Amino acid sequence: GAGVSQSPRYKVAKRGQDVALRCDPISGHVSLFWYQQALGQGPEFLTYFQNEAQLDKSGLPSDRFFAERPEGSVSTLKIQRTQQEDSAVYLCASSLVRMVNTEAFFGQGTRLTVV
C-alpha cells in the first residue's frame, strides 16, 4: 500500500482480555518497529524486526507483550491479560533498510483503552 496501515484504529478491552494489533508496513520495507505512546508522552520503543527476525525486543514492558512478523511483512503485536497501564497508542513504523540509513514512516496507530 501507499503507507503504513494499522488496524484496528481503536480498541477497547476489558482488563484481563487478550488483544492483537496489526501492522501492514510499506511494501518492500525491511525494518519494522513498534512504539508505545502514553497520553501526553513521546513514543517509546518496544521492538524491532528486520524481515522476519526480531532483533531487538528490549522495550517490551513485560512478558505479556509479544510481537511477530512471520513472513517478513505484516506484523502483529499481542498483549495478553491486558492491564490498565497498557492503555496507550501503539504506533508501527517501517523503513526500507536500517533506520540509520533511511527514513521511517509511521502508521496512524491503534488507540488501546483498557477498562
Partner 1 sequence: ELKVEQNPLFLSMQEGKNYTIYCNYSTTSDRLYWYRQDPGKSLESLFVLLSNGAVKQEGRLMASLDTKARLSTLHITAAVHDLSATYFCAAVGYMGGGADGLTFGKGTHLIIQP
Give the binding site for partner 1 (CB under 8 A).
33, 35, 40-45, 48, 50, 55-59, 91, 93, 98-100, 103-109, 111
Contact assessment for residue 15 and residue 64, using Cβ atoms and an 8 Å cutoff:
no
CB of 70 to partner 1, least distance (A): 19
CB atoms within 10 A of CB 78: 13
Closer residue to partner 1 (CB): 79 or 89: 89
Q: In the complex, what is the shortest distance from the CB of residue 48 to partner 1, in angstroms, rounded to a whole number?
A: 4
Compute the distance between CA of residue 102 and CA of residue 18 in angstroms, rounded to an integer: 34
Q: Cell triple for residue 47?
A: 521492538
Q: Which CB, 33 or 86, lies closer to partner 1?
A: 33
Cell of 28: 518492500
Question: Shortest CA distance to 80 belongs to which of 20, 8, 9, 38?
Answer: 20
User: Considering beta carbons, is residue 64 or 111 the nearer one to partner 1?
Assistant: 111
Q: Least distance (Å) from partner 1 to the CB of residue 16?
A: 27
Residue closer to partner 1, measured from CB, 28 or 42: 42
